[in-house]
Amino acid sequence: MDEMRQVEILLVEDNATDAELTLRALKKNNLANNVVWVKDGAEALDFIFQTGAYAGRANGMPKLILLDLKLPKVDGIEVLRRLKSDPKTNTVPIVMLTSSAEERDIVESYKLGVNSYLVKPVDFKQFIDVVSHAGMYWAVLNKTPH
């Protein structure tokens, strides 16, 4: 990725297969420009807050974050909590894209301010449909200045 371009979508996903499926689904819907993939919650926080390995990163906030719930180091709920409680990041749209359909996960995510909660299906065609749903946020955001 060209470091001078704005990151439009931050994908936070620890499972390489799910990440690849998500990237393919975004590409299929022409939504894969300027996507950055990070593999755990700690790396996501470093990227967003420009700390650790991303301390010199020049780009601003992503326009959309696709966030998995079950992540190593820092889980998705904690990432969501930190982002929605910080004035610099609380307006960034976050879509929880996860395999968990547990009611407590859904309720907690919405209590913390997630914009949408989408459960990843096993079937690739359905997966594309779900990611396309998440991509609608990006399409709308791409038309409005941030």
Q: What is the pTM of this model?
A: 0.82
Domain that holds residue 76: 9-135
Residue 145 lies in a domain: no
State the Cα–Cα distance between residues 126 and 116, nearest whole angstrom: 17
Find the distance separating the first CA and the last CA of the chain, reported in whole Å: 21
Q: How many helices (H) and strands (E) does the chain have?
A: 5, 5
Residue 64 lies in a domain: yes
pLDDT in tens, 95-146: 998 888 899 999 999 999 999 898 876 666 666 666 666 655 545 455 544 4
Give the pLDDT score at 29. Answer: 72
Phi then psi for residue 36, to 5 deg, are: -115, 135
pLDDT in tens, 104-116: 999 999 999 999 8
Total domain count, the chain: 1
pLDDT in tens, 37-94: 999 999 999 999 999 999 988 778 898 999 999 999 999 999 999 999 999 999 999 9
Residue 144 lies in a domain: no
- Strand, coil or helix: what is 11? strand
Residue 105 lies in a domain: yes
Residue 24 lies in a domain: yes
State the Cα–Cα distance between residues 126 and 133, nearest whole angstrom: 11
Give the pLDDT score at 8. Answer: 84
State the Cα–Cα distance between residues 34 and 5, nearest whole angstrom: 7
Q: Which residue has the higher pLDDT, 4 or 35?
A: 35
State the Cα–Cα distance between residues 146 and 136, nearest whole angstrom: 16
Q: What is the CATH number of the domain that holds 81?
A: 3.40.50.2300
